[in-house]
Amino acid sequence: MVVFTALVGAAPDGLELETDEIVGELAPADLVEKLDTTVTVDGSGLPPGGGSVEQGEAIFAARCAACHGLRGRGGPAGPLVADAGGAQRAVNTYWPYATTLFDYVRRAMPYDAPGSLSDAEVYAVVAMILAEAQLISRDARLDAGSLPEVRMPGRSLFP
């Protein structure tokens, strides 16, 4: 018999469930493989492929702008790119590594369909964001070799 409680340690009356049934199901192997990825700050774990700023602009407009604004400078979810010298926590003022940005976008975005972007689309969207933040040139193409080389202004904020 398995006992579930809503709070650690004890549960108020009525919040206990006793059952002999297994709750949930095993995740399919393809989902486990997709989620079992880690991109480190040095770029280990980055997938093959790549994307350009130009490609990223189209993808961003279709999949990201509703929350982050047309150029990533504001929207309901807030800006990804802040004005130079601004106090906002944004990609160009706070994030320490471009590889971390890739990993986050790949796992958690877009908000309404996390993990739905292909690796090439993630590279392209990250390229667009970094170009908008003036951290790479507008004609840049990012891949597993070039992404870890991007120097982020926020790197000095973290040990």
pLDDT at 17: 61
27: tokens are 């995740």
Q: What CATH superfamily classification does 28-157 receive?
A: Cytochrome c-like domain (1.10.760.10)
Residues in the chain: 159
DSSP state of 135: S
pLDDT at 25: 87
pLDDT at 89: 87
Q: What is the pTM of this model?
A: 0.81
Q: Where are the domains of the chain?
A: 28-157
Q: Would you give per-residue pLDDT tens digits along the chain (159 residues)?
A: 445 444 455 556 666 666 667 778 888 998 888 778 889 999 999 999 999 999 999 999 999 999 999 999 989 998 899 987 666 889 999 999 999 999 999 999 999 999 999 999 999 999 999 999 999 999 999 999 999 999 999 999 887
Distance CA 153, CA 36 (A): 29
SS3 category, 109: coil
pLDDT at 87: 67
Where does residue 22 rank: exposed (0-12), middle (13-18), buried (19+ CB within 10 A)? exposed
**pLDDT tens for residues 86-108?**
668 899 999 999 999 999 999 99
pLDDT at 61: 97
Residue type, 130: L
With contact defined as beta carbons under 8 Å apart, do 2 and 17 qualify?
no
pLDDT at 13: 61
pLDDT at 5: 44
pLDDT at 143: 99
pLDDT at 15: 63
Please give the backbone phi and psi of residue 153, each rounded to the nearest 5 degrees, phi first: -60, -30
**Beta strand pairing status for 2-4 and 17-19?**
antiparallel
